[in-house]
Structure 1
Amino acid sequence: MKKKKSTTLPPPTTLCSGYAQYWWLCFWWWELVLSSFTHTKETKRMNPVWFILSIILLPLTTVQAGFSFLDKIELIYKKPGETVVFSLSSVTPPIPNVTWKLITTMSEVLTLAAEWNGGDVNFYQDFKGRSTLNTTTGELTISNLTLKDSGGYVVEINNEAMEIKMLMVVLPVTKPTISMSCDDEKTHCVLKCEVNTTDVGEVSYSWTLGDMVGWRQSKKIKITKEQKEPSLLCVVKNPVSYEFSDRVVNPFSNNP
């Protein structure tokens, strides 16, 4: 099996070369990106949202010498097959031209998605045939979304970056299951909420104990003889969906 390439972060002296005038801002971004790494036993993996933003925002914010651009970032979650509309809040019609560029964790560089310079609208890559561009407002619409459409979309008007739309296309979560293991003395049991997390984005877990909704907020919980409610279930949620597990009997219940 081919080993997946891991993403690494260059040192600040390399990342910030060419931005000497704004070294403090560049180093601030380096610290921000560094903090977005998540650690596991096998590898160090960067959050894709922050990875994309780090590439886009470093040159944009340093050129503008400020953080005002941060207010122009919108994070949007969609499911495969849905349609997204990138509306612009900082644009006043009419506009002379508009360009949309895309960057993903796979490409790691900005590439053209759509552009208009007063004539015909041109679409690039696989945006042809499923996208429309409003030449009055600059609004971009993409239909039949796929997982590969996830990324940072930068809109430029008169060669000036105006806004960033962070699109994350994720799968809905599936129905979770609960595994349970108890100690030999039956003093406590550990329950774990299991679900396939492939391509579903950020996932949150919560537990219902009896009628107590949101009793715990974690993937794994421990119950003891103090918990007498008859049953438990877990809920898994991501930005586009949620699912409930089947209820399981509480082994410490007075009414099993």
Structure 2
Amino acid sequence: MPARPAMAAGSDAGRAPGVLGVVCLLLCFGFISCGSQRVYGIVHEKVTFSIASNVPLNEILWKKQKDKVAEWENSELRAFSPFTNRISLDPVSGDLTIFNLTSSDEDKYEMESPNITGTKTFSLYVLEHLPSPRPTCAFTNGSIEVLCKISEHYNSHLELIEYSWDCPMEQCKHNSTKIYFKLEDDIPQTIQCTASNPLVNKTSSIILETCVPSRGHPRNRYILIAALAGVIIVIICIVLYVFGILKCNRKTDRNNSS
């Protein structure tokens, strides 16, 4: 008698891999959707949820959460508010395109059809247009601190923004909002910082010499000093020349009077 439970357990254990195998096959062929696919769009632009179905779709229903977005039935398309005049549906592939995106469009979408098993789900993230970063710098404790940040007024999915640097120094290989340079290092003349999200990247540059006012531009300073010295020498020569002429004139006047 005790052997029967063991056989049952063994048969269940043997059946489990078979069930898992079927599930894996269904996942591979796209008949079951586990989890949502992330899709990103930009305000006032368009985004497409791609289904790419391999079977003809006689009926299609797109929903945003529980609300209907679009419905294809009897070869007719019906769009629901607030997507009226803002969508395009491909009845062959099942792809849905939303135009003139707004931040309120951000949500979870899913497509259902009696021609396919399960549902296709998408999580839409609507991003504001990304501004260019504004690199700033400061000189403290013998080091140059460079900060790369976008405008503080931008608050559209800040968690999706990444920062990177471009310069030949080791510091620029690290993705961060702040890097440091020591004065004794061979500091590059210009570095670039880039802010990026899943759709866009924007780059700005900064000249590091402007971060150290006392250091300035040594070559220009030397040229200025040399030019100033040359002017002084010319003035002295002119003064000596004038005094020399006056002196000569005085001697000539004396000789004439004698």
Which of the five TM-score ranges fits, normalised by the shorter chain?
A: 0.5 to 0.7
Output the CA distance in 1 between the equivalents of 2:64 and 2:172.
39
2:119 to 162, 175, 196: 162
Match of 1:193 in 2: 148
Instruction: Indicate yes or no: 2:68 matched with 1:87.
Output: no
1:247 to 189, 196, 206: 206
Match of 1:176 in 2: 133
**C-alpha displacement of 1:73:** 4.2
Match of 1:118 in 2: 74
Cα deviations across residues 201-252 of structure 1 (Å, max 9, x unaligned)? 5111111236889533111112223352223231111122222223232457
After TM superposition, the score normalised by the length of structure 1 is 0.59
**In 2 relative to 1, CA 208–224 (structure 1 residues): closer, same or farther, beyond 3 Å?**
same
Output the CA distance in 2 between the equivalents of 1:81 and 1:111.
22
Contact 2:61 2:72 (8 Å CA) reproduced: yes
Q: Which amino acid aligns with 2:124?
A: L
Q: Name the SS of the counterpart of 2:125 in structure 1.
A: strand
Contact 2:171 2:180 (8 Å CA) reproduced: no
Match of 2:167 in 1: 209
Q: Within 5 Å, which residues of 2 pair with 1:97-116?
A: 97-103=59-65, 110-116=66-72
Q: Which amino acid aligns with 1:137?
A: S
Structure richer in helix, relative to its length: 2
**C-alpha displacement of 1:72:** 7.4
Output the CA distance in 1 between the equivalents of 2:94 and 2:61.
8
**C-alpha displacement of 1:84:** 2.3
Match of 2:90 in 1: 134
Output the CA distance in 1 between the equivalents of 2:103 and 2:170.
36
Structure index of larger Rg: 2
Q: Which amino acid aligns with 1:194?
A: K
Cα deviations across residues 19-77 of structure 1 (Å, max 9, x unaligned)? xxxxxxxxxxxxxxxxxxxxxxxxxxxxxxxxxxxxxxxxxxxxx98894456743222
Q: Name the SS of the counterpart of 2:91 in structure 1.
A: coil
Output the CA distance in 2 between the equivalents of 1:175 and 1:83.
22
Instruction: Indicate yes or no: 2:177 matched with 1:219.
Output: yes
Moved over 4 A (4+): 64-67, 69-73, 210-214, 250-256
1:231 to 190, 195, 204: 190
Structure richer in strand, relative to its length: 1
Q: Which amino acid aligns with 1:192?
A: L
Q: Name the SS of the counterpart of 1:137 in structure 2.
A: coil
Output the CA distance in 1 between the equivalents of 2:76 and 2:52.
24
Cα deviations across residues 112-158 of structure 1 (Å, max 9, x unaligned)? 11123336422222111121223343222222222222222100112
Aligned sequence identity (%): 22
Q: Name the SS of the counterpart of 1:96 in structure 2.
A: coil
Match of 2:249 in 1: none
Output the CA distance in 2 between the equivalents of 1:190 and 1:167.
37
Output the CA distance in 1 between the equivalents of 2:198 and 2:72.
33
In structure 2, the gaps of 5 or more residues are 1-21, 219-258
Instruction: Indicate yes or no: 2:121 matched with 1:146.
Output: no
Between the two proteins, the alignment pairs up a number of residues equal to 184
Contact 2:128 2:156 (8 Å CA) reproduced: yes
Output the CA distance in 1 between the equivalents of 2:41 and 2:207.
32
**In 2 relative to 1, CA 126–215 (structure 1 residues): closer, same or farther, beyond 3 Å?**
same
Q: Which amino acid aligns with 1:178?
A: P
In structure 1, the gaps of 5 or more residues are 1-63, 104-109
After TM superposition, the score normalised by the length of structure 2 is 0.59
